[in-house]
Homo-oligomer: A and B are copies of this chain.
Amino acid sequence: MARTTRPTLTHVAASAGVSVSTASLAFSGAGPVSERTRQRVLDAAAELGYAGPDPMARSLRQGRTGIIGVVFAERLRHAFRDPVAIALLDGLAEELGPVGPGLLVLTGNDERAGPSTEQLAAAPLDAAVFATCDLEEEPLVEPLRVREIPMVGIEGPRMPGVSLVDIDNIGASREVTEHILSLGHKRIAAVVLPWRPGRQRGFLDRARRDLSGSVVFADRLRGTEEAIGASVHAWEAAASTVEEGRAAGRALLDVDEPPTAIVAHSDLLAAGVIQAAHELGLRVPEDLSVAGFDGIDTPWLDPLTLTTAVQPMVEKGRIAGRMVTDLLAGRTPEDVLLPVHLRVGGTTAPPR
């Protein structure tokens, strides 16, 4: 009587005295089954210790796993340090949660590489969301395209076969910079996001600029420069973190004639800049105006509120989730461009 192997639907059906197909229906509820039969099946299952239909077998038959992959082109530790990425995931989880088992996080192990092509080719996904912005350089899209797996990109370049959730990086960045300009600032510097490929820290010179960077990062710089009408003195951060912002702040501020305003292309960078300013004895916003980008919570800056471009981070995830749902239902969602709005906080003021 004792079976060493786990019970299957066949065993349950036999024990309940019904056919496998009926037993299956009893579990899935996808067909007409009399209450009595259903109960017999469930009882038999309980008695045998049957845990319900095997997910793998079910997947094979149905052709889907319910798993949505989220691709990061960074090591997990770095990707998850970014509040924007977390918010995105949260929105995604919120939208997709009830649907399937969950989110499969696909990251690289390397400091800056994403998951391997083999990993992507072998992952049991129904759809994938590219959370990183450097879509075009990624050879990661190809294996999924071959498998005909629906893909959604976040703030990436437009690519055939990849639905896009985008935000108006150029416009928002321009708006922030215009705000700074309208306050009367003349000496403005920028802290830009890491310029792919090969994140490094340092002044963004001509040569570096000419490398094709990531769309997002390039767009934010472009917005700033469009507002100024000229190229801006910029420092490139190696990552979007407070520490990097601090290093940037030090480099930009600890000079003879420091800027009176710094436009940082992320809130974390801005926070670092403010910290550096404080360390150098500069007051914000009296001696230095600082603006950020993203609109994350910055309780540690309290009582200061950061002037920044607020993007709908969680909403981005939700919309991506809805796109995934649409794609899986066979519909073709249109690309979405989400609005970003300027929030004037207490970190910007007219120059003295």
Instruction: Tell me whether A90 and B106 are in contact (CB under 8 A).
Output: no
* Least CB distance, A159 to chain B, in whole angstroms: 18
A94 interfacial contact with B, CB 8 Å:
yes
Instruction: Tell me whether A56 and B60 are in contact (CB under 8 A).
Output: yes
Complex interface: chain B residues within 8 A of A122 (CB): 52-53, 55, 58, 66, 101
Instruction: Tell me whether A242 and B123 are in contact (CB under 8 A).
Output: no
Size class of the A contact interface (CB-based, 8 Å): 35 or more
Q: Which of B63, B148, B275 contacts A300 (CB 8 A)?
A: B275
A316 interfacial contact with B, CB 8 Å:
no
Tell me, in angstroms, the Cα distance from A168 to B121 when the chains sit together.
41
A59 interfacial contact with B, CB 8 Å:
yes
List A95-142 residues whose CB lies under 8 Å from chain B: 97-98, 101-109, 115, 119, 121-124
Complex interface: chain B residues within 8 A of A76 (CB): 86, 89-90, 93
Complex interface: chain B residues within 8 A of A102 (CB): 69, 104-107, 115, 119, 123
Copies of this chain: 2
A338 interfacial contact with B, CB 8 Å:
no
Tell me, in angstroms, the Cα distance from A146 to B87 when the chains sit together.
34
Instruction: Tell me whether A243 and B101 are in contact (CB under 8 A).
Output: no
A67 interfacial contact with B, CB 8 Å:
yes
Complex interface: chain B residues within 8 A of A87 (CB): 77
Instruction: Tell me whether B101 and A106 are in contact (CB under 8 A).
Output: yes
A36 interfacial contact with B, CB 8 Å:
no
Tell me, in angstroms, the Cα distance from A90 to B76 when the chains sit together.
6
Give the 10 A-B CB pairs with smallest separation, nearest first.
Answer: A77-B90, A101-B123, A55-B124, A97-B109, A51-B146, A56-B59, A51-B147, A56-B60, A76-B93, A80-B86
Contact bitstring A54-97, B, C-beta under 8 A = 1, else 0: 11111110010111010000011100110000110110011001
